[in-house]
Amino acid sequence: MSGVWVFDKKGVARLISNPTRESFELKEPPHAGAGTATAPGARPRVLVYLPTNDVIRSFSELEQRLLELGWTRYHNSKNRSPHLVQFHRSHSSPHLISLPSNFRNLKHFHLYDIVVKNPCFFQVRDPSA
């Protein structure tokens, strides 16, 4: 029995045998109230800027907030990818946030990376919260 087990909100598991990328990028979840475009059964998440309690809805909003917090865009001419945007605290800091240049391509691990590096300013929440 090979494949991927996916659990819904009620805790019921179902097996996706021979999973493909398309099976995890369903536009509509298999049943109402569950799932996102990236993983069936996963809950959608939003990034919230805590000082104003605003949901970050665009890359320009996110970049503005990061710049306000002291992050600067990292321009590395050697390994520059047009699909990747990076921010760092300072040239001597090991902290680096790497994000896709298209806001719609942000995944949950990008959101949590922002939160881990800015815990007092960002939070990941359910969209209904």
Tally of CA atoms within 13 A in the half-sphere of 105 that contains its CB: 8
pLDDT tens for 5-18 read 777 777 788 777 76
Average pLDDT for the chain: 78
Other Cβ atoms closer than 10 A to 27: 6
- Tokens representing 3 are 């494949």
Amino acid identity, position 35 = G
Closest Cα to residue 86, out of 117, 54, 120, 121?
117
Task: Give the tens place of pLDDT for each residue, 61-93.
Answer: 999 999 999 999 887 656 667 788 899 987 777
Helix, strand, coil share of the chain (percent; to 5): 20, 25, 55
**71 vs 25 pLDDT, higher one:** 71
Q: Provide the whole-model pTM.
A: 0.64
